Amino acid sequence: MIGYREKTVILCSAIIFAFSHIYFRSLLILIGTWLLGCLWGKHYWKFKSISGPVIAHYLVGFPFILLNYMGGNPSWSLF
C-alpha cells in the first residue's frame, strides 16, 4: 500500500508526463497519458525499476505513431 507522499509524487510526475505529450493537441490523449503515467508511476514505485514503464511506453506509443502516419493524419488529433 502506498501512502500520501507516494501518491502525491506519482500524481505530480503523471501530470508532468501528460503535459510532455501536449504536442498531440488532444484532450483525450492528455487524459490518457495522465492515466498511463499514474499506472506506470505506481509500477515504478512498487518495483523500483524503470524498465517496465519504458517497455510499456514503447509498446503503446510506437503503434499509435505508426498507425497515425499510415492513416495520413499528421495533426495527431483523435477528435
CA angle 45, 61, 49 (to 5 degrees): 20
Does the pLDDT of residue 70 top 80, yes or no?
Answer: no
| Cα–Cα distance, 30 to 25 (Å, whole number) | 8
DSSP E strand stretches across 6-71? none
Cα–Cα distance, 26 to 68 (Å, whole number)? 14
pLDDT score, position 73:
59
pLDDT at 75 > cutoff 70:
no
Report which of residues 75 and 51 the model is more confident about. 51
Alpha carbon 59 to chain centroid distance?
A: 11
Q: What confidence tier does 67 reach under pLDDT thresholds 50, 70, 90?
A: confident
Rounded Cα distance between 18 and 12, Å, is 10
